[in-house]
Amino acid sequence: MAIFKGAGVAIITPFHEDGSVNYEAFAEQIEYQIENHTDAIIVCGTTGEASTLSHEEHLDVIRYCVEKVNKRIPVIAGTGSNCTETAIYLSQEAEKAGADGLLLVTPYYNKCTQKGLAEHFTMIAEAVSLPIILYNIPGRTGGVLIQPETVVRLCREVKNIVGVKDATGNISGVARLMALAGDDVDVYSGNDDQIVPILSLGGKGVISVLSNVAPQQTHDICEKYFAGDVEGSRSIQLSAMNLIDALFSEVNPIPVKKAMNLMNKKAGVLRRPLTEMEEEHAKVLEKAMKEFGIL
């Protein structure tokens, strides 16, 4: 059974002006997501600025999220690293904290071969008992891509590797993966503009940036599709395109934090090297938010 089905939010990490984690705002955002029917929370991923959290902060944020959610919906912890031992440590601590699953990004910077990817993910999986979703995002990892054959082999041979978040943008690659996988791989869209296309290929849902600002609508894209209302699902997907484009007009999570601050959701500042959104892009974002009815 899939860890979750539907729309999981790749939740931001809110910061105070001094750069410390704003846990009060984080609690409010968690409640906002649950109240608006988000199907899972993915904490400490790319959108959560995990790369600029210390290991202590990273684990504290996971623990806090697990405690606040209190089993109402699944919490999936981002615990990937380009160092296998670090990923094992973070994954084991997330399991101790009570996370329901793990999201493991492909190793970045030092890169590796398909053999290296298989060994990396297998070693992490064998160190924990939680179900694992692999995270394929070559644009963030120096072009490192888990090939469809490797994804399928890992899901079939390693009992707790269950799926993949696909942020490649390559629908043909997803189709090839699904053709190879049968029912052995749970596939989630990692791109908000490709939710319906990936659902149409048999995907289980989305791990979404859009959900931070439009949780109900993102949930409904999936829910309507699963209920057979393909036209209703498609309509929401297409109506959100201008907003999705604006949310990725600068590197994530710069725009989504700006959007949340416009909504008075207390996202706070970004950690360097990320900087505040350019004014020209911010104006386009605000316009798209108004058109979509969330501002």
Position 1 scores a pLDDT of 77
Closest CA to 123 of 167, 70, 85: 85
DSSP letters of the chain? --S--EEEEE----B-TTS-B-HHHHHHHHHHHHHTT-SEEEESSTTTTGGGS-HHHHHHHHHHHHHHHTTSS-EEEE---SSHHHHHHHHHHHHHHT-SEEEEEPP-SS---HHHHHHHHHHHHHT--S-EEEEE-GGGTTT----HHHHHHHHHHSTTEEEEEE-S--HHHHHHHHHHHTTS-EEEESSGGGHHHHHHTT--EEEESGGGT-HHHHHHHHHHHHTT-HHHHHHHHHHTHHHHHHHTSSSTTHHHHHHHHHTT---BPPPTT--PPPHHHHHHHHHHHHHHT--
| Residues 6 or more apart in contact with residue 53 via CB below 8 angstroms | 13, 44, 61
The yes-or-no answer on residue 266 being catalytic is no
Please tell me which residue in 68, 165, 204, 224 is annotated as part of the active site. 165
Q: pTM for this structure?
A: 0.97
Report the CATH superfamily, name and number, of domain 6-229.
Aldolase class I (3.20.20.70)
Instruction: Round to whole Å and give the CA distance between 175 and 164.
Output: 13
Please tell me which residue in 108, 135, 188, 225 is annotated as part of the active site. 135
- Per-residue tokens: 69: 């959610």
Instruction: Round to whole Å and give the CA distance between 287 and 259.
Output: 11
The yes-or-no answer on residue 135 being catalytic is yes
Position 278 scores a pLDDT of 98
Residue with the two structure tokens 């790749």: 10
Closest CA to 160 of 183, 127, 190: 127
Please list the pLDDT of the chain residue by residue as tens digits (295 residues): 799 999 999 999 999 999 999 999 999 999 999 999 999 999 999 999 999 999 999 999 999 999 999 999 999 999 999 999 999 999 999 999 999 999 999 999 999 999 999 999 999 999 999 999 999 999 999 999 999 999 999 999 999 999 999 999 999 999 999 999 999 999 999 999 999 999 999 999 999 999 999 999 999 999 999 999 999 999 999 999 999 999 999 999 999 999 999 999 999 999 999 999 999 999 999 999 999 999 9
Residue pair 270/256 in contact (Cβ under 8 Å)? The answer is no
